[in-house]
Amino acid sequence: MTQNSFAVTVENTLNTLMEQVEEAAPEVEGDLVDSVLTLLLPDDSQIIINRQEAVRQIWLACSDGPARFDQVGEAWLDSQSHESLNAALARLLGKRLGRSITLG
């Protein structure tokens, strides 16, 4: 995968995530700028998701700790737990919002 196709793939992934979060959790504010998706939760905490070109990963950062995701086929999987990016984000949002969240 070229650097350009990686960037486009990540940008599409982040756009899709933002749309899914807006639909599943309208109380969460999302902002996507320069391949950095920032989610502001009602408790004033943030979840930040961005691309890391050098290692071709998507990184997620929040107060619960970091996670790094590798592309495996069409999915982005945590490099340690193998949880999908959608599942990890849904779990984190659900924990913060106090209800079940489903993404994708």
Return the CATH class of domain 3-81.
alpha beta
Domain boundaries, the chain: 3-81
CA distance 13 to 29: 17
Vertex 23 angle, CA 18 and 104, to 5°: 70
Residues contacting residue 32 through CB under 8 Å, at least 6 positions apart: 14, 15, 18, 38
Q: What pLDDT score was predicted for residue 1?
A: 65
Q: What pLDDT score was predicted for residue 4?
A: 76
pLDDT in tens, 20-73: 999 999 999 999 999 999 999 999 999 999 999 999 999 999 999 999 999 999
